[in-house]
A and B are shown apart, each in its own frame.
Chain A
Amino acid sequence: MFSYILRRVLYTIPIALGVTVICFLLVQLGPGDPINALLPEEATQEMIDQVKAEYGLDKPLPVQYATWLGHALTGDLGTSIATGRSVSTEIFSALGNTLMLAFGGMLVSFVVGLTLGSIAGSRQGTLSDRVVTGFAVTGVSVPHYWIAIVLVAIFAVGLHWLPAMGMGPRGSTGFALDWAHIQHFVLPIFALSLIPTGIIARSVRGSVSETYGQDFVQTLRAKGMPERQVFVHVARNACSAAIAVMGLQMAELLGGSILIETVFVWPGTGQLLNNAIFMRDLPILQGTILIMALIFVATNLVADILQALIDPRIRR
């Protein structure tokens, strides 16, 4: 087991390095020189050269990458062009708000998806199976930013039950465990968790019903085991597939937040990224993508290890 974890962690290192390479190259994709954002239009060639030397932009790309990576490893992701503040400060003040949304969405989609999926998988072909399957296909096909708009139209504009935007009363960005703050989470989390819930329910249904078709289930039934206990055996076998899917759904939750945050004016990384794109604030763009991708890599690492803990067949 220990060697599996070690191998899995070691395997993450080249992936993480690859992620940094892509994030670094991302900035080079843009039209024009990234330096233009720093300089006035009438800058002379001499000024351009001077600023380039100052930022190390006159060196070849691999050298620039090594310098950038070295700084990034110490937590220095550069300076925001728009605000002049350090990129890591900007990202970490927004990251908490996004992670609150993402983990809320994770909780909802895992619990609901697992429940619906196991109900449908163990009662194949019945009405409840068809209802769940129908719900899952709907959940997979709905654009979540549209559902967010519809939810706002119904619950905020129409019924006045819940707030339409923001993270807390009067634009507060803090968090407290009272209804005034929690009610701001209801709509965004619902909209965000819809797609992952559909996908999880669908694949859990698949793996549960597949496990029910295996010989050992027949053996358990033949020796007279009550159906409830049979389900426990099936659940344990279907579990690792479910964890793998849930790990991958973190991508949906982290990535989906950018669109959801735009609709709900949520002060998270999605909004930060969105603003950075329109201000052409490339250091912020680069830093946000890097941090989000690394979080996703880490959650997948955790999912893989959990999977191996539960299912000895994976450890090899």
Chain B
Amino acid sequence: MNTSTLDARDKSRIETTSTASALMANEAQLSGKPPKGYWHNVGNKLRHDWVALTTMTILGLIVLAAIFAPWITPHDPYQASMLDRLTPPAWASRGTAEYLLGTDELGRDILTRLIYGARVTLLMSISPVLMALMIGGTLGLIAGYAGGKINMCIMRLTDVFYAFPSILLAVAISGAMGAGIVNGVFSLTLIFIPPLARITESVTTKIRNEDYVQAARATGAGTLTIIRVHVLGNVLGPVLIYASSLLSVSIVIASGLSFLGLGVSPPIADWGLMLNALRESIYVAPINAALPGVIIFITCMSFNLLSDSLRSAMDVRL
């Protein structure tokens, strides 16, 4: 037993020295460094991609601010002050340093409410993508791996959901169920399941027919083992990349639902709801009215650019 594995190792060393990549691996071994793997390469690419670094910093700051909101915000998010209504931001002529980004229509500090709003908005937009990833991913995996009738049933069902413009379906479901975070998350999850199922199905179908899966099946590996060992690892990359590109869509739609009054209800701080409430003040304080949208835009843009960077670093083609 022991000698045979050693033999095999020796043999493989002899065989691999003939190929260029193995030469490099050997060199790395000689110089005491471990051979470079796939994730090492991905990390290396990301480290030299300033777009990825910038967007990760921005998103990291937003998430940290959301988590530590009570400790870093200068004001109380619900403390209204009739005298300070619609104070312009600090850089404007009548602005004060007390309210860095000005105040809203009830005199509440906009910066504070944006930080608290990040909690609700991020929760309401990230959790549907995660849940849809689990449900849609599982459906797609089953459809792609099983093929045949099961595939047809699942995929035709997703086709029907594809027939609805996604914002409209989200609005209709939330509208029929009534406003609220839970209903909003439910409707968003429902609209993200079909695209995720579809992408997982197409990747799984491709991998299912690869030689190594056929070989595994021929050697008697069980279905679950094949999926766990061979399929999942290859499907996960592209599907996660695709899911990450849905995050910005999710933020736009989730804020859109709140903007229509279908998300959280006042006085809870939420980016879309703030945009809606401040819209009435557009003639008096246009800058204040536009501010909540700026943070939505920056967050979406960061998610989009980061997703693009990840895609090229991981060399995934969808």
Q: Which residues of B contact A154 (CB under 8 A)?
A: 286
- The answer to whether A277 has its CB under 8 Å from any CB of chain B is yes
Residue of A nearest to B159 (CB): A15
Report the separation of the CA atoms of residues A252 and B256 in the bound assembly, to the nearest whole angstrom. Answer: 13
Q: Which of B263-283 contact A (CB under 8 A)?
A: 275, 279, 282-283
- The answer to whether A67 has its CB under 8 Å from any CB of chain B is no
Cβ of B42 to closest chain A Cβ, rounded Å: 21
Dominant secondary structure at the B interface? helix
Q: Which residues of B contact A292 (CB under 8 A)?
A: 164-165, 168
Report the separation of the CA atoms of residues A300 and B92 in the bound assembly, to the nearest whole angstrom. Answer: 49
Q: Are A293 and B256 in contact (CB under 8 A)?
A: no
From B156, B290, B305, give the contact of A153 (CB < 8 A): B290
Residue of B nearest to A34 (CB): B176
Q: Which of B239-288 contact A (CB under 8 A)?
A: 248, 252, 255-256, 259-262, 275, 279, 282-283, 286-287
Report the separation of the CA atoms of residues A26 and B286 in the bound assembly, to the nearest whole angstrom. Answer: 38
Q: Which residues of A contact B296 (CB under 8 A)?
A: 143, 146
Report the separation of the CA atoms of residues A164 and B252 in the bound assembly, to the nearest whole angstrom. Answer: 23
Dominant secondary structure at the A interface? helix
- The answer to whether B24 has its CB under 8 Å from any CB of chain A is no
Q: Which residues of B contact A289 (CB under 8 A)?
A: 164, 168-169, 172
Interface magnitude class on chain B:
35 or more
B160, B165, B166, B293, most chain A CB atoms within 10 A: B165
Q: Are A15 and B160 in contact (CB under 8 A)?
A: yes
Q: Are B175 and A141 in contact (CB under 8 A)?
A: no
With A143-B297, A146-B290, A263-B279: A22-B259 Cβ-Cβ less than 8 Å: no
Q: Which of A158-197 contact B (CB under 8 A)?
A: 158
Report the separation of the CA atoms of residues A29 and B297 in the bound assembly, to the nearest whole angstrom. Answer: 32
Report the separation of the CA atoms of residues A21 and B248 in the bound assembly, to the nearest whole angstrom. Answer: 30
Q: Which residues of A contact B252 (CB under 8 A)?
A: 143
Q: Which of B133-166 contact A (CB under 8 A)?
A: 156-157, 159-161, 163-166
Q: Which residues of B contact A21 (CB under 8 A)?
A: 160
- The answer to whether A282 has its CB under 8 Å from any CB of chain B is yes
Residue of B nearest to A250 (CB): B165
Q: Are B178 and A251 in contact (CB under 8 A)?
A: no
- The answer to whether A258 has its CB under 8 Å from any CB of chain B is yes
From B163, B165, B290, give the contact of A15 (CB < 8 A): B163
Q: Can you sample 24 A-B contacts with CB below 8 Å?
A: A14-B156, A18-B157, A18-B159, A19-B164, A22-B161, A26-B173, A29-B176, A137-B301, A141-B248, A141-B300, A143-B256, A143-B296, A143-B300, A146-B275, A149-B290, A158-B286, A250-B165, A255-B166, A262-B259, A273-B168, A273-B175, A289-B172, A293-B164, A296-B165
Give A residues with C-beta under 8 Å from B: 14-16, 18-19, 21-22, 26-27, 29-31, 137-138, 140-143, 145-147, 149-150, 152-154, 157-158, 250-252, 254-256, 258-259, 262-263, 273-274, 276-278, 282, 285, 289, 292-293, 296-297, 300
Which 7 pairs, one residue from A and one from B, show the smallest C-beta to C-beta distance?
A146-B293, A255-B165, A18-B160, A255-B167, A153-B286, A251-B165, A277-B175
